[in-house]
Amino acid sequence: MWYYYVVRSISERSTDVGLLVLTSLAEGPKHGYAITTDVEGLSGVRLGPGTLYGALARLEGNGLIEALPAEDRRRPYRLTGAGSVALEEQLRSLDRVTRSGLERLRLAEIPR
């Protein structure tokens, strides 16, 4: 099964909520607030509750993450094996695009 993400540009920052959440969870299980703080530190993007929990529901529905038993009122989530594979593939693809784009800019004769 393959998963692709479209990277959108918002305020000159590249963001994709699902990709950011998966990247955060690659470090280990986290609950919603911990994901939000990690994503903001990682990308400068502050996720609102609707955006975060919508992404969590989609990722869980696609089998990329799973909810763990609640701790008090907090429900942690973790990356699944499929989520780990999908994240690695997407990051490798983005790396290729990034390296290619930077090389093309380096070779271009565009005034800055």
* Structure confidence at residue 63 (pLDDT): 97
- For residue 1, being part of any structural domain is answered with no
- For residue 2, being part of any structural domain is answered with no
* Structure confidence at residue 11 (pLDDT): 36
* Structure confidence at residue 6 (pLDDT): 45
* Structure confidence at residue 36 (pLDDT): 98
- For residue 3, being part of any structural domain is answered with no
- For residue 98, being part of any structural domain is answered with yes
- The whole-model pTM stands at 0.81
- For residue 65, being part of any structural domain is answered with yes
Q: Up-side HSE of residue 48: CA atoms within 13 Å toward CB? A: 2
Total of domains in the chain: 1
Residue 20 sits at φ, ψ, to 5 deg, of -65, -40
- For residue 38, being part of any structural domain is answered with yes
* Structure confidence at residue 45 (pLDDT): 93
Q: How far apart are CA 101 and CA 98, in angstroms?
A: 5
Provide the strand spans (E) within the chain: 8-10, 13-15, 65-67, 77-79
* Structure confidence at residue 91 (pLDDT): 96
- For residue 76, being part of any structural domain is answered with yes
What's the token pair of residue 100? Answer: 């290619």
- For residue 46, being part of any structural domain is answered with yes
Residue 70's domain spans which residues?
Answer: 8-106
Domain CATH code at residue 69: 1.10.10.10
Q: ∠ CA(48), CA(29), CA(33), 5° rounding?
A: 25
Give per-residue burial for 54-85: e unless 16+ CB within 10 Å, then b.
Answer: ebbeebeeeebbbeeeeeeeeebbebbeebee
Per-residue pLDDT of the chain (112 residues; tens, 9 = 90+): 444 444 443 333 445 999 999 999 999 999 999 999 999 999 999 999 999 999 999 999 999 999 999 988 899 999 999 999 999 999 999 999 999 999 999 999 787 7
* Structure confidence at residue 15 (pLDDT): 59
